[in-house]
Structure 1
Amino acid sequence: MSLLTLLPFIVLIGAMFLMTRSAKKKQQEAIEMRNQMQPGSGVRTIGGMYATVKEVNEDTVLLDAGPGVDLMFAKNAIGAVLSDDEYNRIVHGIEHDLRSDADVVPDDASSLTGTDEPADAAVSDDKPVDFGKKDAADEPVADAKADEQPKKTDGGSEAK
């Protein structure tokens, strides 16, 4: 009977041991990653800022965040050391992979229709609608309205 009473405590202690072990392993990997930083490496801080390592000291890192912008950070504030390809892709928008241009999906469906003109060319020549408030003096004369064809409405308060 005493073994059944101790079983929940044994399971709880085992779970705590496994959790602390994995946390220590992640912490050790982070320390190794920060120790491998070299000048010229691209990094992301824990705040989400991307920069290039300019100088590495024992507890601090000098980062180049842009032309003439040097920032001093604690080593613990570095969230990730990025590969050159990943840093260039994120910061400069440079894709460095071996995919061909044939794999690129077009932004619009014009290439799927077989015509060379973009989808925006088919837009009608309607004049833009002015939603501003008009004075009675700005209203055209009633005779001029009679010559025009009735226009479509978009279901405003006058439409029933």
Structure 2
Amino acid sequence: MSLISLLPFIVIIGAMFLMTRNAKKKQAEAAQMRDHMTPGTGVRTIGGMYATVKEVGDDTVTLEVAPGVHAIYAKNAIGAVLDDAEYNRIVHGIGDDLSDTPVVPDDASSLTEAPAEGEAPKLDLGKKDEPKKDEPKDGKTDGEADAK
């Protein structure tokens, strides 16, 4: 066998080695991050819920998900440990300088008319024409309905 025929196998084995090394490195970083959780720290779970750490056990962590509401999670369910400034910005809106920015709908062309001062914009939802109260739903007049 020549070295050229073994080259694809060597490349595949090398790629597998690099991928497993990167995965192990990420797992070690995640474990180190979880070990630095202390009571009072803000966290985000892998499900996207923000909470405050109340107690840290060996394999579990007690989170306060709302004032007075505690839930027990596995430590590996913690996706990120947040610093105080980021947690307060996300959960409480503290430090958000975007509060003065006006909210614009995705499709501003759907606004039918400019709202009055302090009034919410009226949206054209594309309602179909409904029959008038006196007109039957089938679109026939009273004379046409009597003829049949």
- Do they superpose with TM above 0.5? yes
Is 1:121 the counterpart of 2:120 in the alignment? Answer: no
Task: Output the amino acid matched with 2:42.
Answer: G
Q: Deviations over 1:3-22 (max 9, x none)?
A: 01000000001100100010
Name the % identity.
69
Distance 1:86 1:40 in 2: 14
Unaligned runs of 5+ in 2: 105-113, 118-128, 136-148
Determine the structure 1 residue equivalent to 2:109.
none
With over 3 angstroms needed to count, the CA separation of the structure-2 counterparts of 1:48 and 1:16, relative to structure 1, is: same
Letter in 2 for 1:134: K
Give yes or no for contact 1:85–1:96 (8 Å, CA) kept in 2: no
Would the aligned equivalents of 1:50 and 1:91 in 2 still touch at CA under 8 Å?
A: yes
Per the TM alignment, residue 76 of structure 1 is displaced from its structure 2 partner at its CA by 0.8
Partner of 2:111: none
Alignment CA distance shift 1:132-1:40 (3 Å): farther
* Partner residue in 2 for 1:65: 65
In structure 2, the partner of 1:48 is: 48
Number of equivalent positions = 116
What does 1:21-40 correspond to in 2, within 5 Å? 21-40=21-40
TM-score (norm. length: structure 2): 0.69
Q: Counterpart of 2:9 in structure 1: which amino acid?
A: F
Shift of 1:85: 1.2
SS in 1 for 2:133: coil
TM-score (norm 1): 0.64
The match for 1:144 is: none
Q: CA RMSD in A?
A: 2.7
Q: CA deviation at 1:132?
A: 6.0
Q: Which residue of 1 aligns with 2:120?
A: none
Q: What are the Cα deviations for residues 65-122 of structure 1, in whole angstroms up to 9, with x where unaligned?
A: 112210011101111101111111111122257x9x9xx65457xxxxxxxxxx5239
User: Is structure 2 residue 11 aligned with structure 1 residue 16?
Assistant: no
Between Structure 1 and Structure 2, the one with more strand by share is: 2
- CA shift, 1:133, in A, is 3.7
- Which one-letter code corresponds to 2:54 in the other structure? K
1:86 and 2:86 correspond: yes
Q: What secondary structure is seen at the aligned counterpart in 2 of 1:19?
A: helix
1: distance between equivalents of 2:82 and 2:102?
A: 30
Gaps of 5+ in 1: 109-118, 123-129, 137-160
The alpha-carbon deviation at position 131 of structure 1 amounts to: 4.5
Q: Matches of 1:56 and 1:120 in 2, distance apart?
A: 52
Moved over 2 A (4+): 104-108, 119-122, 130-133
